[in-house]
Structure 1
Amino acid sequence: MGTPLGDFIRAKRDSIQPETLGLPDYGRRRSPGLRRSDLAVRAGISVEYLTRLEQGRDRNPSPAVVHALADALSLDPAERGHLRYLAKITGGACAGRTRPAPPPRDVRPAVHQTLRLLEPGVAAVTNRLGDILAHTSGYAAVLGAAGLLDVPAPNLTRYVFTDPRSRALFPDWDEVADEQAFDLWLGPSAENSEWLSTELAPVAGPEFTRRLGNHRVPRRGPLRLQHPAGPELRLLRETLDLTADAQQLLVMLPADEDTAAHLDRLTQPTPARLRAIS
């Protein structure tokens, strides 16, 4: 007996012409659409496992498999949401698990005080999901200038994958995207990571889900920023783990003299102008 999930996967597979995905046309076949073997290869799963999913003999695909199938079928955001919903009601990815939930955003007073001591340097309290929980004025001057801090609950991962301005801010966008996706595996908890990855997958698409499944350990060299005011900055990142809080204190330091000079101009308060009074 099939399941809604299996029926949907099979129907989408039957509706896809191989040539639209750059695959060869195999000529007249008994079944229309994409071959099961081709879909399995694109999704990185076995034909046997795909057969079990379509026939309803496996009702618990992992979130990674659900994302991979969505990418392999080239689903649009609405179809991705429907696929996840079908996986859930079929007994899918979250069966027997704690409900996905966002992490707390509270920062201890002592950590806030530590952050104030770093003014006007470039520093922030974050977590591995990319949440910006607190920051210095220097951080706002450098990273907030391109819109990262425009929302009430800023998140670097969401910004990188959904805000077009991130590609101008980060000249090495692909490397930054790899870092943010990889860090989700190191989130405060599995439930927190699943909450954000489930939220991002429909809107970020393959740029996000492909990286999430790569498990590629990032290099984390100097971070290059193209500030909207003009200067290119090269920043070294020093991270202090706040283990008890599942948070981090991130401090960014200039990697060269030019960056140090640019940071001085960007982060120092603008002197008040004298006005003549007649």
Structure 2
Amino acid sequence: MWIVLVGPPSGCDTAAMTEGELGAFLRSRRESVSPERVGLPSGSRRRTPGLRRAELATLAGISVEYLTRLEQGRDKRPSGKVLTALAEALRLSDEEIGFLNQLAVAGSGTELSPRRHQGSRVVTRSMQAILRQLEPAPCFVVNHMADLLAWTDGYDRLVRPLGVFEADEPNLIWFTLTDSRARTAYPDWERVADEHVADLHELRRGDPEVDAFVERLSHTAGEEFTRRWGRRPVGARRTGNRTLEHPEVGTLTLSFETMRLADDLQRLIVLLPGDMATETKLNRLSGYEAGLRVVSAG
């Protein structure tokens, strides 16, 4: 699994990081990890705390000589792939990963991995608990690529009949731009599609993961997507109203609010009824006689 990147620990001053700090950090974490934690026998004849260099090198898939150079500060430009492997082997916490990322950037100008955003598929336990508290409202968490990562039962009942969850890894942009059912679900499909493409343009910025996603969309969605992509629409909305045609309850007017989460790679979207008719229909879908309340349209 790819790791989540978060900011550095509080009090961390990137400018004050001295030469050799990356190696010292890796060495300190190696010495603090018990063999049992990574599935190795502890033994009774260990002369040093934590893991031996040979053990960590094996777990990370690198040579002992290279790990030695890293820890001694003789190699200052490890690849993102190597740093990611070391972070996983050392069982680093999110906070430690964020600090390692800062050290890597300060030392070499590169981040842990050019595919670092894939770590944004991990939803924290606290965010999952928040979603449970938001029931029965239709709420969901997406990453920067609009992959659906977690959602309430209310959202599941709302969009499953549309076909959103038929993909192995459901993605809202992919569904909107490649599934013909999306045109029926969204009466204002043209605007929704433009907003998704605007999001992709904003995200691109040399990110190879986004480039690969755009390439797949070009092959699957064809001319429709290529034309829209070349037009470079702008104006992706983070709040507003949207109309949805539901196969079971008919037309729904939904207000949505988007909240960026702490690592800025995930977003929580909350949907609420925009009128009394929609409130009644959402309550019917959720099996609640009361609960969701209308919000003012605007």
TM-score over 0.5 for the pair: yes
The residue correspondences of 1:116-131 to structure 2 (distance < 5 A) are 116-131=132-147
Q: Which runs of 5+ in 2 are unaligned?
A: 1-112, 290-298
1:210 counterpart = 2:262: no
Correspondence 1:114 to 2:130: yes
Note the alpha carbon deviations across 1:202-226, whole angstroms, 9 max, x for none.
Answer: 1111221222232322364411100
Task: Find the counterpart in structure 2 of residue 87 from structure 1.
Answer: none
Q: With structure 1 as the length reference, what TM-score do the two structures score?
A: 0.57
* Ranges in structure 1 where 5+ consecutive residues have no aligned partner: 1-97, 271-278
| Amino acid aligned to 2:212 | W
Partner deviation per Cα, 1:4-52 (whole Å, 9 max, x = no partner): xxxxxxxxxxxxxxxxxxxxxxxxxxxxxxxxxxxxxxxxxxxxxxxxx
1:71-110 aligned within 5 A: 103-104=118-119, 105-110=121-126
**SS of the residue 1:152 aligns to:** coil
TM-score after normalising by structure 2: 0.54
1:150 CA displacement = 1.6
- 1:42-89 residue CA offsets vs partner (Å, 9 max, x unmatched): xxxxxxxxxxxxxxxxxxxxxxxxxxxxxxxxxxxxxxxxxxxxxxxx
CA distance in 1, matches of 2:229, 2:265: 21
Q: Work out which of the residue numbers 175, 179, 198 in structure 2 matches 1:182.
A: 198
The answer to whether structure 1 residue 261 and structure 2 residue 288 are counterparts is: no
Cα distance in 1, alignment partners of residues 131 and 204 from structure 2? 21
Corresponding letter in the other structure for 2:184: A
Task: Give SS of 2:165's match.
Answer: coil
The one-letter amino acid of 2:235's match is P
CA distance in structure 2 between the aligned counterparts of 1:147 and 1:194, rounded to whole angstroms: 26
Q: How does 1:188-267 map to 2 (within 5 A)?
A: 190-218=207-235, 220=237, 221-267=240-286
Equivalent pairs: percent with the same residue? 36
In the aligned structure 1, how far is the partner of 2:179 from the partner of 2:127? Answer: 29
Contact 1:127 1:188 in 2 (8 A): no
Q: CA deviation at 1:161?
A: 1.4
How many residues are paired up? 173
Secondary structure at the counterpart of residue 136 of structure 2: coil
Which of 134, 144, 160 is the matching residue for 2:160? Answer: 144
Deviations 1:245-274 (A, max 9, x none): 50000001111111111111011269xxxx
Distance in structure 1 (CA, Å) of the matches to 2:125 and 2:204 = 20
Distance 1:117 1:149, change over 3 A: same
Distance 1:229 1:198 in 2: 35
- Give the Cα–Cα distance (whole angstroms) in 2 for the partners of residues 237 and 229 of structure 1: 21
How far residue 195 of structure 1 moved from its aligned partner, in angstroms, is 2.1
Per-residue deviation at 1:138? 0.7
CA pair 178-237 structure 1, distance change in 2 beyond 3 A: same
CA contact (8 A) 2:140 2:270 kept: yes
Aligned counterpart, 2:83: none
SS at match of 1:124: strand
Output the CA distance in 2 between the equivalents of 1:103 and 1:125.
Answer: 14
Aligned-pair Cα RMSD in Å: 2.3
Displacement of 1:243: 4.0
For the 8 Å contact 1:125–1:132, the answer to whether it is kept is yes
Runs of 4+ in structure 1 over 4 Å off: 98-102
Residue 100 of structure 1 and its aligned partner are, at CA, apart by 6.7
**Kept after mapping to 2: 8 A contact 1:127/1:187:** no
